[in-house]
Amino acid sequence: MLEIRDIYKTFNAGTQNEKRALNGVSLTLNDGDFVTVIGGNGAGKSTTLNAIAGVWPVDSGNILIDGVDITKLSEFKRAKYLGRVFQDPMTGTAATMSILENMAIAARRGKSRGLRWGVTKEEKELYMEMLRKVDLGLEDRLTSKVGLLSGGQRQALTLIMATIQKPQLLLLDEHTAALDPKTAKKVLALTDEVIAEHKLTAIMITHNMKDAIQYGNRLVMMHEGKIIYDVAGEEKKNLKVADLLVKFEQASGGEFANDRMMLS
């Protein structure tokens, strides 16, 4: 399904701020895989997701989705394969446009946009139904500007938008990190539901090791731009947070005392 072959990315090459963010990342996902990704700050988690999404070109390596090489495709062209939810709730939606308009735009991901009316009547009914199912009180606010919604509501909406058109791959970049714990839990539960319902292939970055173990069928740990641990199936299910900490300590030589990973 997704095949990442040995990608490298260095930011600010040749300057004092040179940062090798991806150091030969390779990863193959099967259809229906739900992979959680953990790792310290600067491990290359978000960079990997951005490389897949095409935010900037990678230095070397290839990215394939269902056998199609998308390495050279621009960000907007790859969007037809990808659903994305970002860390910042502001990023995934257009604040000055209504819920309805946002959803209608998302429904046309990967299709050509012409001079047909932007939102049809049938769509309106459909979206209202979708929103009613997630039970966030949004179904009565279709014409409200998205900027008026709370962070949690916006993330939930972004998630729905990412899946109106079933994506080949769903990219979740710490999409609950900016939310308060209660809301984060809700959005995470919704995420799990949506992925199961549409049988999506997904990659989810998280700082929370418990979540990383609880959700998905596979877990990947990154460190210094590399994947250092990749576990699936029964072995993953039986993981404990302590196991992950040990793994991490081995990899990083015990230098992670101050890392944000400790907090979770």
Partner 1 sequence: MSLNIVTLINALPGAFAQGLIWGIMAIGVYITFRILDIADLTVDGSLCTGGAVCIMMMLNGQNVWVSLLVATLAGMLTGLVTGFFHTFMGIPAILAGILTQLSLWSVNLKIMGKANQAINVDKYDLLVSLRFVKNVAFYKNTLFVVALFILVVVLVLYWFFGTELGSSIRATGCNGNMARAQGINTDFNKVLGLMISNGLVALSGALLSQYQGFADINMGRGAIVIGLAAVIIGEALFKKLFHNFGFKLLGIAIGSILYYLVYQTVIWLGVDTDLLKLLSALVVAVFLGLPHLKSKYFSKPVRRGGNQDA
Residue 93 near partner 1 by CB under 8 A: yes
Residue 136 near partner 1 by CB under 8 A: yes
Contact range with partner 1 by CB under 8 A, out of 20-28, 70-78, 205-213, 227-235: 70-78
Q: What is the DSSP string of 79-100?
A: TTTEEEE-SSTTTSS-TTSBHH
Task: Name the residue with tokens 């300057």.
Answer: 15
Looking at beta carbons only, is 153 or 201 nearer to partner 1?
A: 153
Residue 116 near partner 1 by CB under 8 A: yes
Let me know how long the chain is: 264
Return the exposure string of 136-160: e unless at least 16 CB atoms fall within 10 Å of the residue's CB, then b: bebbebbeebbeebebbbbbbbbbb
Among 82, 83, 2, 22, which residue's Cα sits nearest to residue 226? 22
**Among positions 12, 13, 118, 237, the unique one binding partner 1 when judged by CB under 8 A:** 118
Looking at beta carbons only, is 17 or 117 nearer to partner 1?
A: 117
Contact range with partner 1 by CB under 8 A, out of 183-191, 195-203, 213-221, 239-247: 183-191
- Closest distance to partner 1 from the beta carbon of 237 (Å): 28
Contact range with partner 1 by CB under 8 A, out of 62-70, 99-107, 203-211, 245-253: 99-107
State the Cα–Cα distance between residues 222 and 245, nearest whole angstrom: 13
> Total residues at the site for partner 1 (CB under 8 A)?
49
Residue 248 near partner 1 by CB under 8 A: no
Looking at beta carbons only, is 16 or 96 nearer to partner 1?
A: 96
Residue 259 has phi, psi (to 5 degrees) of -70, 150
Q: What is the DSSP string of 169-232?
A: EEEEESTTTTS-HHHHHHHHHHHHHHHHHHT--EEEE-S-HHHHHHSSSEEEEEETTEEEEEEE
- Closest distance to partner 1 from the beta carbon of 110 (Å): 5
Contact range with partner 1 by CB under 8 A, out of 23-31, 59-67, 153-161, 248-256: 153-161
- Closest distance to partner 1 from the beta carbon of 223 (Å): 27
Among 70, 68, 118, which residue's Cα sits nearest to residue 97? 118
Task: Name the residue with tokens 């050509």.
Answer: 112
Residue 188 near partner 1 by CB under 8 A: no
Q: Provide the residue type at 119 as one letter.
A: V
Q: Give the pairing of strands 169-173 and 60-65.
A: unpaired
Where does this chain bind partner 1 (CB under 8 A)? 53, 75-77, 79-80, 82, 84, 86, 90-97, 101-102, 104-106, 108-111, 113-119, 136, 148-153, 155-156, 161, 179-180, 182-183, 186-187
